[in-house]
Amino acid sequence: MSYKEIFSGMAEELKSMKNSGTVAAYIPKLCEVDPDKFGAHLLTIDNQHFCFGDSNEKFSIQSIAKVLSLAMAFELEEDKLWERVGVEPSGISFNSLLQLEAGKGIPRNPLVNAGALVISDILVSSLKNPKRELIEFIRKASGNAEIAYSPAIVESEKLTGFKNAALINLMKSYGNIKNDIDTVLDFYFNLCSIEMTCKELAETFLFLAADGINPLSGIRIVDSSKAKRINAIMQLCGFYDEAGEFAFKVGLPGKSGVGGGIIAIHPDVYSIAVWSPKLNSKGNSYRGMKILEYLTTRTKSSIF
């Protein structure tokens, strides 16, 4: 079945699908989003676009951005990066303090909150103007100079970021945070505030489907070895304690965000972004997960 046929059938699939779950109420600004929104955009490495629904409406990509900060830090630090953060699946909630304490301040992977805070600390240490240089890196990856932080979401995150403050203080006590805590938290909240459409998100992540090069611009974002490893981390860790379920049912590397977005990569073929704000009990988009399962089942195609 072709992508065109699948996207044509998506409306019928959604009609018969429950819109279960709840929006991420612990971030006040995310409560303002219409919970019935749904968008999808698939972009092939030879620049074919397939879209559906609210695919051109911006939303907060939240933790999906952790993959982009990881890519930047990996380029800067090379394998030294793994001295401060692991690459193992968490098997537990994305903001667990218990696991972090058991690991003596070393997060299990870069895609849980604690791991992304360590990556943020590394970037704050390494960059002269961290927030500006990060957004420039993301704009280079996407080929879109309009990608930006959302000040309103940053403030909303700061109002309720107590668990992240607990995580970073615990890591500071173990010596795994080198900079001022408030500076690192500010960087992290800005990272999570980035807004994109499904189309922009698919364009931004296409480099991971093309061995580290954005095939639309020809610009190398990371080398091919790093692209392979980042995809592996997404496969193992991109959905917290539901990563196994996503691998089992969808079979693609991917990353979710509590804004309801999911990015998924089929290496050498496409990137696809989906957005549906209601989250399941694991913090992943309920309908987003179902539609990606529908896609790979109908195409009979995954990385396995």
Hey, what amino acid is at 284? N
**CATH number of the domain that residue 132 is part of:** 3.40.710.10
Q: Is the pLDDT of residue 118 over 90?
A: yes
Using the predicted structure, report yes or no on whether residue 122 has a pLDDT greater than 90.
yes
Give a three-class secondary structure readout of 3-30: HHHHHHHHHHHHHCCCCCCECCCCCHHH
* Burial class of residue 132 (count of CB atoms within 10 Å of its CB; 0-12, 13-18, 19+): exposed
Q: Is the pLDDT of residue 73 over 70?
A: yes
pTM for this one?
Answer: 0.96
Q: pLDDT value at position 25?
A: 82
Predicted confidence (pLDDT) at residue 183 exceeds the cutoff of 70? yes
Whole-number average pLDDT of the chain:
95
Residue 166 lies in a domain: yes
Determine which of 1-15, 193-207, 242-256, 283-297 has the lowest per-residue pLDDT on average.
1-15
Is 283 a domain residue?
yes
Q: Give the per-residue pLDDT at 240.
A: 84
- Rounded to an integer, the average pLDDT of 157-172 is 94
Domain residues for the domain of 65 are: 3-299
Q: In this structure, is residue 88 part of a structural domain?
A: yes
Specify if 304 maps to a domain. Answer: no
Q: Is the four-CA dihedral 224, 226, 227, 228 of positive or negative sign?
A: positive
Q: Would you state the pLDDT for residue 38? A: 97
Structural domain count, the chain: 1
Does pLDDT of 1 surpass 70? no
Whether 230 shows a pLDDT value over 90: the answer reads: yes
Residue 202 has pLDDT above 90, yes or no: yes
Residue 96 has pLDDT above 90, yes or no: no
Per-residue pLDDT, 23: 93
Q: What one-character-per-residue DSSP string does 148-200 give?
A: B--HHHHHHHHHT-HHHHHHHHHHHHTT---S-HHHHHHHHHHHHH-EE-HHH
- Output the six-digit token pair for 266: 């089929």
Q: Which residues contact 155 (CB under 8 A, 6 or more apart)?
A: 29
Question: With bands split at pLDDT 50, 70 and 90, how would you rate the model's confidence at 266?
Answer: very high
Q: Which pLDDT score, from 0 to 100, does residue 11 have?
A: 87
Write out pLDDT tens, residues 249-261.
999 999 999 999 9
Residue 77 forms part of a structural domain: yes
Could you give the percent of the chain with pLDDT greater than 70?
A: 99
**Does residue 122 lie in a domain region?**
yes
For residue range 34-61, list pLDDT tens digits in order.
999 999 999 999 999 999 999 999 999 9
Residue 240: inside a domain, yes or no? yes
- Please check whether residue 207 lies inside any domain of the structure: yes
Q: 141: helix, coil or strand?
A: helix
pLDDT band at 273 (very low <50, low <70, confident <90, very high): very high
Is it the case that residue 191 has pLDDT exceeding 70? yes
pLDDT category at 190 given cuts 50, 70, 90 is: very high
DSSP state of 68: H
Q: What band does 236 get if pLDDT is binned at 50, 70 and 90?
A: very high
